Chain A
């Protein structure tokens, strides 16, 4: 069977017209040859001549892009097996490496036995169309725009895939009009094909809500497009696009909501503010730059008795107590400059004349001061009452402390007096019995007790800060050892004492008296803590406190210290007692048995010399008190309170007048004067003394107690000076205040000695004064 190539060669003019638009191919199955026209040859990249003459049919596939080749083979196989129509798109690579998209539409011719004779068709270059489609598809999916085309009267709508995705339909190219319009939420007119759209020109812009059939979600869709009267048979054709505007609608709705409620909220806020203004319990005011009230809240009436109209236009200063005006005016000036006053207090006058304390907070804006004032009159009154109550409480505490102190002092003093009286009593008995050899130790005991009593008053004076400390470099080792005897006696037989003191100890800054007293005090405490006996250890060592140790544990400066640790094996103390042990007046002893001052005085003393004290104790585990004495720069001075040098006999029979109401003291002084070689004149009061002074008897010195009954020592001295202007006067006083003010108390040729005094001191003082006057 012969087949002519369908090259259009019958009329070259037609061939010329169609050339370039589309290529034509003819596959002759019986011949097994493929023919094609010039355009087909161009697209296939073959020569015109070859295709005009016919090539092997396999060339139909050879030029096709490898990715499309199999597909096209299958389609051609379909044709060969009986399919009628061939309609495929595929790519043909060009020499440059690019591909051209072509559309091939063909059909098979068969003989009566259904055998394929020819397979021929038209090949069209659709590269440009593909590109446009691609662009359109990208534009649709990127822009979220779906397109549709609908011809009036038809049941289906041609749509893009994006159109289906927007409405939640199965993606396809044609959907039922009914299915499109069924997506609309109730109450919305049809999206497409509604009657109102039947006008030529632009379609109305329309927004509608849909319910996606796939998810049930509600979305907003906008539609626009055009009408054309160019459908089949002049029917209306609608071409349009839709896009999702849900986000926009949501924003729009919330904006509308916002706008709608704005006014309400402003009204509500204004009402709230008015409520605050009208119901405030505090004073609210707006003050102008001139200091005049611009507005006042109704609370002014309640708090200060003024109606708002009585205040309006008036200057606020007219309502302030005159004493506060100047400073208030200054504060207002600052507030106008922008400073926000905080708790500025001044006094306002109530209309009834009463005075109210007001505390103000302000802020300034646009030249106005917004002031907020709270009436604190009651608070002030309460604070005053509180302060008074506190004073009373403090006074009561002081009285209690004094009670504790005096009770404790009496106890201590009684102990010492027992030692003195008991010792002297025994001396008396031994003297009476003529056993004079034994009296020495009793006298010693009595003297020691007396010294302790003197030490106690000394400490009391130190505690009341009326006697300065005398910090000196001290050899702690020597001092401690010197106290062993005293401590043993104090501790009694049930407590054993061990003193460990290194000879290489640094000299420490201390006051020897205070340190002795502190150690004695600690020993007594330890003894009391060990009622059934035990062990007391006093250990002195050098320690260096570094910064870390100090920061962690101690309220002290880093540096070198001599540490004295006093450890007992007694009951120990619970933590709460340890915490308060250094507090003044804290004592665990029954009233009358301790002053509660021992540890606090030790602590105070150590702080004063730049040292530190701490307590380590637990119930049942004994107590260690650590005293940190700062290392001294210089060498230590020798310890020793009691000067044992014999009293020098310095007098040469000069007459000394002694005025003292206390018999024992007077007796002592007289005795001493005799011993020193003076002639003593004794007087028990001022009157008696004046009798001696008015006589012609030569008097080298008057020694007088300051605290005499009747005329006191000072007055007596003045009268004595009236008689004998150059008479030296030595005051004796047991009252520390006099000692403190001695400079203003003493005139020329006068001096003072405080009780108790050592006989030596009195002797040298007398010697000095008699010698000076002579």
Chain B
């Protein structure tokens, strides 16, 4: 794929997608508990690309300006996670997570707060689950909302040495029958990706070794 800087093997790629899927499913579960509505999150695909390619990807896909929840993390692997929505979608998301109880004006007023909370749930669920799955601790910083475009999010102008990579995830939200499109981007440096790769390999080994996959499901 264009702009891809680190080639994961097909199996690693599948495993990573699944890890992320598990994470967002946990997040969806949390959201369900939070809003009391049916929430489904799924990640159809994952790409590992350069920051520049990530910016191009999102710009070519999204017409308007974007809003993102940003959260830094450190531990077995370190970096920065972004949950990105088209700005036009963010209000719908806020309304969805607040159960359509707010007027549009009120929704707008508390948009940032709602987004921050949603973002925290999703990113935390995602990253924490992955860390848990991979049996490594991970520390999350506080989330905050930023607005702008891909270039800003991926700090293209700030960092000239484009050494880092981006795990670029397409994510579909389905909340209360609304379909909302978004992206999760995890910016990491190469050592972190390397660490992640080791963890992925461990996961694969465990799956391969399991006599009965159902056993995995009983671990809660």
Contacts and interface: CB of A to CB of B under 8 A. Distances in A.
Nearest to B10: A71
Nearest to A71: B14
B71 interface: no
A655 B55 CA distance: 147
A179 B57 CA distance: 10
B207 A73 contact: yes
Nearest to B206: A77
Contacts of B10: 71
B61 A179 contact: yes
B163 interface: no
A57 interface: yes
Nearest to A72: B14
Contact of B216 (A70, A81, A178, A179): A81
Contact of B213 (A70, A76, A179): A76
Given A85-B42, A113-B220, A78 B21 contact: yes
B88 interface: yes
A470 interface: no
Contact of A176 (B28, B41, B60, B203): B60
Secondary structure type dominating chain A contacts: mixed
Interface in A113-139: 113-116, 119
Interface stretch (A164-172, A663-671, A735-743, A758-766): A164-172
Contacts of B2: 170-171, 214
Given A170-B3, A171-B2, A70 B208 contact: yes
B204 interface: yes
Interface residues of B, number: 48
Given A77-B18, A82-B22, A170 B214 contact: no
A156 interface: yes
Contact of B60 (A32, A81, A108, A172): A172
A58 interface: yes
Secondary structure type dominating chain B contacts: helix
A174 interface: yes
A174 B60 CA distance: 9
Contacts of A29: 214, 217-218
Nearest to B57: A170
Given A58-B212, A70-B208, A113-B220, A84 B41 contact: yes
A460 interface: no
B53 A82 contact: no
B6 interface: no
A316 interface: no
A45 interface: no
Contacts of B220: 113-115
B133 interface: yes
Given A74-B15, A75-B14, A81-B133, A32 B212 contact: yes
B62 A170 contact: no
Contacts of B57: 170, 172
A79 B86 contact: no
A170 B56 contact: yes
Contact of A80 (B41, B53, B64, B214): B214
B1 A171 contact: yes
B78 interface: no
B109 interface: no
Given A70-B11, A114-B220, A179-B59, A155 B214 contact: no
Interface string B1-23: 11100000011001100110110
Contacts of A80: 213-217
Interface string A438-466: 00000000000000000000000000000
B60 A170 contact: yes
A74 B42 contact: no
A177 interface: yes
A697 to B, nearest CB: 143
A239 B216 CA distance: 45
B19 A78 contact: yes
Interface string B77-100: 000000000101000000000000
A-B pairs, 7 with minimum CB distance: A116-B217, A80-B217, A78-B18, A155-B63, A179-B60, A80-B216, A84-B25
6 contacts: A57-B212, A84-B21, A115-B218, A171-B1, A176-B63, A179-B59
